[in-house]
Structure 1
């Protein structure tokens, strides 16, 4: 009887975890799409609706294998990149290596780099 009860709890817990993981995947896909489309307002709304602070979830989000700022640089999403950079601590922006990545990947002329430099200095 004890085994059946434990198995039942494990099955019930698995059912509750699956939708959450799926919802998180959907939210990450939406965030990546908003960044690629340079849609700062929808990004802000998605974060607000889900009661998320970008600085708390930034490290867990990658788009096409890139962090959000690099994804924004790749898609020339200046407004959204500036919003993201302003939401992160200056020390995190400075330590990210985004400037070096941009220079080595052909994005040295991106206006987003100015925002990164300004935030890194603060």
Structure 2
């Protein structure tokens, strides 16, 4: 009987610590999305630095309005932020992303961000 009570208390305590971590991650992702939408490269860089994160490590885990960060930047015409993001990612990942095809098929063929993607894909 004592074991069940201890296990129940331990589970309740663990649940209290898991929820704030998930909330903090969600808040961080929302901040990153907001900085990309606002084309605020400096705040994006500062947020990543303050949280000791490398963009290439968290890139696949963040989506804004259901889009990867680069596509979200293209959609919001956030050229400075998109260039920063693209330069932080491995060239092979940028080349395989399909962002150029996505942009062309969604009406963003004239975006200057595509030139940055092409340059990074070639390196």
Please state which band the TM-score falls in when normalised by the shorter chain: over 0.9
Instruction: Using structure 2 for the length normalisation, give the TM-score.
Output: 0.98
Question: What is the match of residue 109 of structure 2?
Answer: 108
CA RMSD of aligned residues (A): 0.4
* Correspondence list, 1:1-122, <5 A: 1-122=2-123
Equivalent pairs, count? 122
Structure 1 runs (4+) deviating above 6 angstroms are: none
Alpha-carbon distance in structure 2 between the residues aligned to 1:56 and 1:34:
18
Instruction: Using structure 1 for the length normalisation, give the TM-score.
Output: 0.99
Cα offset, 1:27, TM superposition: 0.7
- 1:14-66 CA-to-partner distances (Å, cap 9, x unmatched) read 10010111111111111000000000000000000000000000000000000
Alpha-carbon distance in structure 2 between the residues aligned to 1:86 and 1:25:
24
Alpha-carbon distance in structure 2 between the residues aligned to 1:58 and 1:12:
31
